[in-house]
Structure 1
Amino acid sequence: MATHSALEFVTPLTLGALAEAPVHTELMSLTQEREMGHIRLAREADLVVVAPITAHTLARLANGLADDLLTAMLLARRGPTLLAPAMNAGMWENPATQRNVAQVVADGYLLAGPTSGALACGESGVGRMAEPLDILEAARRALSDKPLAGRRILITAGPTREAVDPVRYVSNHSSGRMGFAIAQAALRLGAEAELVHGPVSLPPVLGAQMTAVTCAEKMQAACLALWPRCDAAVMTAAVADFRPESAPTSKIKKQPGQERMTLELTRNPDILAAVCAARRPGQVVMGFAAETDDLLANAQAKLARKGCDLLAANDVSDTRIGFGSERNRITLLAPGAEPQAWPEMDKETLAEKLLLALAQRWDAA
């Protein structure tokens, strides 16, 4: 379906060819309206996505107008509808627009964006349409069951960086993909997501509360501040076990003839153990163990040492499922239960399965 304004940018022929479907444009179509086309379109779709939606169309929706095919269809619709606003930053921030947004949300419409960035007018600010993949993810959330509705989940992701000096640091190869996939899955399953992450090169998770940190001490502080209002924690971050004992404020220079340098390291805080120790009744903690050998023995020892409810162990020596890969294979452990060896799968699918396993702990409580 395309509005008259949309057809100023792209023709119905082009849209139809790309969609491999007819393009509906007219409310008073002689062919469609003999069958009450706007009613049929409203009822047939599992989900309607309006992308982009302008300030003008938002205003019409907020006031219940039905003066073209799109607004008539939306007024007749009873199922979920996702709106992806796009406009100039000043228009988005205008009190009238904000009143209209509040009204459509109160009426049950779902929003994806807008985000901040470069705008078509040449300015920069909030008003940019959400990226297509983010709109797709919002659509998936709208159509998903919500077994985690009402829950808030704390998730850690990525590596930590421990400063050697202002230029260098100690870190690891974690990409953060697993933790970001879990945050996406948590939102899709109806939960709120608190995502505390180290330095990563991944786009933000739309809808998650993002907290960016650098080192282990800051990650622990952020986690312990958020933990009291969460129902569960999924600790995927690869936290450095040690950090340099001191980090000078100036770059360390190599000296003439120097062949070696000794770096004194000190123990970092154990974030998973700290979260487990601060757990209250009803809270569930899932840890992760990235191992290179003796996977099961090392994971079982970690489960007992940390005191978590569940532990997902994976073999990072396998490059197909190690750091930075899009797939993973884990063995899930729980106190007093037989380890469950899961098959290899993409991290998106794995994230949902892990959260559903976590939800079973609540159901059993």
Structure 2
Amino acid sequence: MTPPVPMAEIWRGPFLESIHHGHAVICDAAGGIVESWGDPQAVVMPRSSSKMLQALPLITSGAADAARLWPEHLALACASHNGAAIHTDRVKAWLDHIGCTVDDFRCGPQEPDDLPARDALIRAGQKPCQIHNNCSGKHTGFLTLNRHLGGGPEYVDPDHPVQRACLEAFEEITGEASPGYGIDGCSAPNFATSLHGMARAMAFFAAARDGASAQEGAAARLVQAMVAFPELVAGEGRACTLLMRAMNGRVALKTGAEAFFIAIIPERRLGVALKITDGTTRGAECAIAAILVRLGVLDAGHPATRRFLNPPILNRRGIEVGMIRPGAAFA
């Protein structure tokens, strides 16, 4: 077993204060490893980076077309959104469209990360509800699929037809039998795989073309939706949204909890999967930016890139006291 390698460094003045170690894999369309750091066979929980895989049955089952879903719906099905009005208004409309309500959700309430939305709730004396959950788009996709399949209300149960369909797609596209699952923050099962398996899956998405197999067509539609609506996939100020905009729709990005990150690069037919072992988001954002610059799809000088790659650390008086920079693995 190969140990994780240094992927991001925190410098304070002339001193190396902290190091974030991790694993990363770049795969080609054939599933081969183009480049790797750390252990490609490390078993990982992709968390929200697997939402595109969980959304595949929504399309391949015919549920998306039967419900007349648009690309905006598909982007939300892949999203970990901020709970801003642009997200929650669309989720509400989608629920109405399929004849469901917030009470049908099984994701749980969450305070919005979007500050205007949070402050509006406070001023109105209201509590956040399930529609504010960052996974409410994914769960509306689950409900849409569930209506199509005729399943029971507990659609997050691992034995439910919705989750069985998700597992089947997950194992087919990663090319591996999952060793098991954990329950995600939104109560849905999150299936484990190797980092190589996850990168292989992202390369499948990168190479997918409309008009090919049902799975390829579905994958292509999801990627196109993500890059067309980066603000729906995450939100203002978030790395996924900012970096996708910086790359002008050339790359789809998706973060996951505990410092997971994926990239889908159609023009190169490459997939990237990355895990920072200490679970720190700043390390994952720095590392994925470094890999994208290394691959030539992200401009190192773009203002969005500089927010995550070599950004200054400012103290409370606004004085620059350090920086976050790529680790020795990328030297």
Q: TM-score, normalised by structure 2?
A: 0.23
| More helix, by proportion | 2
| Higher RCO structure, 1 or 2 (CA under 8 Å, sep 6+) | 2
Q: TM-score, normalised by structure 1?
A: 0.21
Larger radius of gyration: 1
